[in-house]
Amino acid sequence: MLKQQVVNELSYSLPNPYLDLLKIADGIDCNGFQLYSGKTQKMLGFEDREGYLILSLVEANAIWREHEPNNQYIFFAESGDVLYCHNLTNNRFEIVDRLTKELTYEPSSFETCDELLQQLLNHMLDRYGEEIEEAE
């Protein structure tokens, strides 16, 4: 249903790595980062966050698209200062400053959604620029 809703409302075909991640965890809020979910939902298990929501990808993008220059992006996740997105103009997956849309970290531009999501999950774990050991 989410795939069709995104096509209908955002004219975008969701990449499989994002959909695969949602199958494991439908929205993640960790260490100041939020991966948008398939459906807006309340945070559970956190009394200090009553009323706090994990936004759906469609709802978050509708909000971002209220500012016309953001129409060239599909946003998958955010933190206080950056957005994790697909730049539709250059067909790259990027980590950009939430205000200027300039690339932020090194690296910040990727060919695949899989690479972008890997960086997001590393950032959630406070891992920046470290070599990731391959599981044997």
**Averaged over 84-101, what is the pLDDT?**
97
**Averaged over 78-107, what is the pLDDT?**
95
**Averaged over 39-67, what is the pLDDT?**
79
Q: Return the higher-pLDDT residue of 93 and 54.
A: 93
| Residue 130 pLDDT level (bands cut at 50, 70, 90) | low
Q: Is 116 helix (H, G, I), strand (E, B) or coil?
A: helix
**Averaged over 14-22, what is the pLDDT?**
96
User: In sequence order, which residues have a C-beta less than 8 Å from that of residue 19 and are 6 or more positions away?
Assistant: 2, 3
Cβ–Cβ under 8 Å, residues 19 and 113 = no
- Please check the confidence at residue 105 and state whether its pLDDT lies above 80: yes
Q: Please report the domains of the chain, with CATH numbers, ordered by start residue.
A: 2-124 (3.40.1580.10)
What's the alpha-carbon Rg for the chain, to the nearest Å? 15
- Please check the confidence at residue 125 and state whether its pLDDT lies above 80: yes
- Please check the confidence at residue 18 and state whether its pLDDT lies above 60: yes
| Residue 45 pLDDT level (bands cut at 50, 70, 90) | low
The pLDDT value given to residue 50: 55
